Amino acid sequence: MLPLARLGLARGLTYSQLDEMLKGVMIEAAREVHANVPLNRAVSRISAATGINRREVTRLSQPCQESAPPRRASLTNELFARWLTAPDFRHEGRPRVLPRHGAHPSFESLAQSISQDVRPRAFLEELCRLGIARVHEADETVELLRNTFVPEGDAPQMFGFLGHNVGDHLSAAVHNVLHTGVQHLEQALFADELSQHSIEYLRPLVGAQWRTLLAELAPVLQQLIDQDAQAGRPQDQRIRIGMYAYSTAMDTPSALTPGQDANPTQP
């Protein structure tokens, strides 16, 4: 909860606002447990399970707006992933600098492979706005500027990624704790007693591992989506495959010099 509190304070979120959000999701989770019970009968059960009084349960259980349609991945994100990983749009291990218009492979053909409803120009303007791509006016080519889709300057998208990535990671871990049977992959490699020099050495190695994973799995995912569509199978499942790295000072007494005993009074 501490990282969430830090984020809230940094963005001006007060405790009362956070409390309101937490009460809402506690009630939602309890309602899932009693999904087959009419709301007027479930209020007491939800109140008992959550410790939230009946009046608040009733207030927060009232629908305030129409249900939002299921969210799908950003088309711009899909275009970015295909440009980064599809063999036709890569050359010598890197994303190609693409002609803006013309036959495949071009930026125009890349955009049209993602959507026939969105114009290539709209995709290009969005990528440039986010600082992910650049147009070379001299020869009318388009260059991909980075290997990760981090939309700088677009707070809603950045917070959206934060919520979806951390939410799915936490969902996988909670499922593994609460349920038996099929388990989600949720593992971590960790180490301490490293120097800051070693951390800086590791950063590009970790990034390279992610790029390898992305290059191998993104084409497979697209192939499976296409095969499911062609076979007429219900396409009602989603998957998020992530990787993270976090480093900070060890939660120990002050830094020790080499050879110094951390517990000199212990046997």
User: Among 133-137, 148-152, 179-183, where is mean pLDDT lowest?
Assistant: 148-152
What CA–CA distance (Å, rounded) separates 167 from 172? 9
Q: Which amino acid is at 6?
A: R
What CA–CA distance (Å, rounded) separates 219 from 224? 9
In Å, what is the CA distance from 240 to each residue of 99, 141, 167, 177, 181? 31, 32, 11, 19, 20
What CA–CA distance (Å, rounded) separates 242 from 120? 28
Confidence of residue 253 (pLDDT cuts 50, 70, 90): low
Contacts (Cβ under 8 Å, ≥6 apart) of 140: 99, 100, 101
pTM over 0.85: no
Please give the DSSP secondary-structure letter assigned to residue 57: H
pLDDT: is 125 or 156 the higher one?
Answer: 125
Residue 66 has pLDDT above 60, yes or no: no
User: Among 27-41, 169-183, 224-238, where is mean pLDDT lowest?
Assistant: 27-41
What is the token pair recorded at 254?
């002050």
pLDDT: is 62 or 265 the higher one?
Answer: 62
- Position 12 scores a pLDDT of 73
What CA–CA distance (Å, rounded) separates 18 from 106? 47
- Phi, psi torsion values for 237, nearest 5 degrees: -115, 155
Q: Which of 8-12, 85-89, 151-155 has the highest mean pLDDT?
A: 85-89
Domain regions of the chain by residue span = 7-61, 75-144, 188-248
What is the token pair recorded at 29?
């989770």
Q: Is the peptide bond before 105 cis (omega within 30 degrees of 0)?
A: yes
What CA–CA distance (Å, rounded) separates 56 from 38? 17
- Position 252 scores a pLDDT of 62
Contacts (Cβ under 8 Å, ≥6 apart) of 214: 81, 84, 85
Give the residue from 136, 146, 148 showing the smallest Cα distance to 100: 136
- Position 5 scores a pLDDT of 87
Residue 152 has pLDDT above 70, yes or no: no
Query: Taking all residues of the chain, what is their mean pLDDT, rounded to a whole number?
Result: 84
Beta bridge partners of 133: 144
- Position 192 scores a pLDDT of 92
- Position 8 scores a pLDDT of 82
Residue 135 has pLDDT above 50, yes or no: yes
Residue 102 near residue 96, CB atoms below 8 Å: no
Give the residue from 245, 246, 247 showing the smallest Cα distance to 194: 247
Owner of token pair 């300057």 = 153
Give the residue from 194, 211, 202, 207 showing the smallest Cα distance to 248: 194
Residue 255 has pLDDT above 70, yes or no: no
Instruction: Please count the CA atoms within 13 angstroms of the CA of 34 that sit on its side-chain side.
Output: 20
